[in-house]
Structure 1
């Protein structure tokens, strides 16, 4: 099945105002809705609403941090959405970032690989209805059992960027979730997870023919994200280390304006989809042609109605 997803909620649109948009998505060719969790809505509430508005769409979190909820609460939240959308919910988990985990949520960002692996193993057991007593490397759980285990249990996917986490996703999860990549990067990521693992990626899309405006927004986003160490390492692995070095140097010196200016147009055009709506749709399809299973569109602000823009980004053909 060819999938085509969108990130909700849209920036600037109230949660309850999404109903008419969500109800139209299946008829337009969309198959998936994916939420996110940074400092806006939590990841689960928008999906609870969408589960009742469009009872055929697959719903996913991309992603829920493994640190900011206890293991039991994370299982309970996932089980709740899985009960609302039986067989249609995917729990996407990941490490998030030190800013979100430590600076905003007062949690220690320790041993991210092990914490992801341990949380994944706990969730597998808990969501299957098992009584879990286990000492993992990064936490222990004693006698936890869901009172309302979902039937069927939801799939659990893992956010992954570099080879170690990508291989863990392929080995122990139901798929890998990634972002901040170009179509040309997909084969390298695909090679780490193999041909049979579902690969999901959030794609940032700015549907405007004002290339300078799109690049300006793209530069601000790239400097904010790709200076985070895990993303810096990801793009070093993808081969953008030299191209992004001037940005990193300026950022480290406290020169935010200089960091933005140092990002080449070619890097922005690689990582931010922009242009006419038709050009954007064709560019998104390039990701699928390169080996991506599920593109998840994140609509960036252009000054136009975000709901209308989202509805226009239908699958080509």
Structure 2
């Protein structure tokens, strides 16, 4: 296994108390720590701590929304982490969703494809130290230059689900980040990007032998995420449109309980890795066998000590 990643900070565990776990990750066989950004911690601060606690780990953001910071601030924050972890930081960006961008941050969610393309082009120039004055389709920048240019500049990877964004990731970025897919979906996603592009995926892992509890939690997550239009379209493309149609109908009618109940067990089992720890580890390895470069586990709560679960899920 070339790479084995974990999402930090762990849910419900104060970041400051995770130092000893982070320090142990390289010896356990973990290679990567990736952050996230929704309504919890921001994407950069946890990585600054991890860079200090475990200098051998590769760090990544999955993902930083491209609308909620100005272009210059995006470059500055990426440069700061790249300076803390030279050659070991991957800058993952994406459009995020209208809920996060507009409803929570009061920013118009407009022209996502063009905004992603323009942001990558600006970041490429800014992170290599250029003085940028440019009018892009979706924003303009005048005379911006980083005062602290990272050496080397970090690779940029783009959150992508369907062919349009996947092709953009392959053409303009260094790879693609995806999520909410099964091992059997990886070849279809992989076929849309170049062999040289890194493919990264966040994988939701619930290490418990209580299948009913894991499926109930999985249904709550699936109905929350896959009813978002971009994820609904993603799973239509992957071939789950018919299986998820009853969920969408109940959700549209305002029947949240009915939407959860309408999700078939086989869909939950496809998209949520659950079972004994050994089975979970084997299931994550299936993603890699199907063509994924970097699996990034996101640990779901089971009632057990999450730090101990991270240790037990380690490849070694």
Using structure 2 for the length normalisation, give the TM-score.
0.99
Does residue 197 in structure 1 map to residue 197 in structure 2? yes
Q: Which residue of 1 aligns with 2:112?
A: 112
| Match runs of 1:53-132 below 5 Å | 53-132=53-132
Q: Which residue of 1 aligns with 2:289?
A: 289
Q: Deviations over 1:172-195 (max 9, x none)?
A: 111100000000000000000132
Aligned mates of 2:103, 2:203 — CA distance in 1: 26
Other structure's SS at 1:40 match: coil
> 1:206 Cα shift?
0.1
Q: Which residue of 2 aligns with 1:153?
A: 153
Q: Deviations over 1:270-295 (max 9, x none)?
A: 00000000000000000000000000
Aligned mates of 1:69, 1:140 — CA distance in 2: 14
> 1:248 Cα shift?
0.3
CA RMSD of aligned residues (A): 0.7
Aligned mates of 1:137, 1:290 — CA distance in 2: 37
Does residue 29 in structure 1 map to residue 29 in structure 2? yes
Q: Which residue of 2 aligns with 1:237?
A: 237
- The count of residues paired between Structure 1 and Structure 2 equals 316
| Match runs of 1:161-310 below 5 Å | 161-310=161-310
Other structure's SS at 2:96 match: coil
> 1:97 Cα shift?
0.5
Other structure's SS at 1:142 match: strand
Aligned mates of 1:73, 1:157 — CA distance in 2: 18
Aligned mates of 2:148, 2:102 — CA distance in 1: 31
Other structure's SS at 2:191 match: helix
Other structure's SS at 2:295 match: strand
> 1:197 Cα shift?
1.0
Aligned mates of 2:291, 2:83 — CA distance in 1: 31
Aligned mates of 1:195, 1:210 — CA distance in 2: 39
Q: Which runs of 5+ in 2 are unaligned?
A: none
Q: Deviations over 1:228-252 (max 9, x none)?
A: 0000000000000000000000000
Aligned mates of 2:310, 2:136 — CA distance in 1: 42
Using structure 1 for the length normalisation, give the TM-score.
0.99
> 1:314 Cα shift?
1.0
Other structure's SS at 1:115 match: helix
> 1:310 Cα shift?
1.1
Q: Which residue of 2 aligns with 1:142?
A: 142
Other structure's SS at 1:267 match: helix
> 1:98 Cα shift?
0.5
Aligned mates of 2:200, 2:28 — CA distance in 1: 20
Aligned mates of 1:42, 1:235 — CA distance in 2: 28
Aligned mates of 1:115, 1:17 — CA distance in 2: 37
Aligned mates of 1:19, 1:241 — CA distance in 2: 43
Other structure's SS at 1:192 match: coil
Q: Which runs of 5+ in 1 are unaligned?
A: none
Query: Structure 1 segments of 4 or more deviating over 3 A?
Result: none
Aligned mates of 1:164, 1:195 — CA distance in 2: 17
> 1:19 Cα shift?
0.4
Q: Deviations over 1:197-250 (max 9, x none)?
A: 110000000000000000000000000000000000000000000000000000
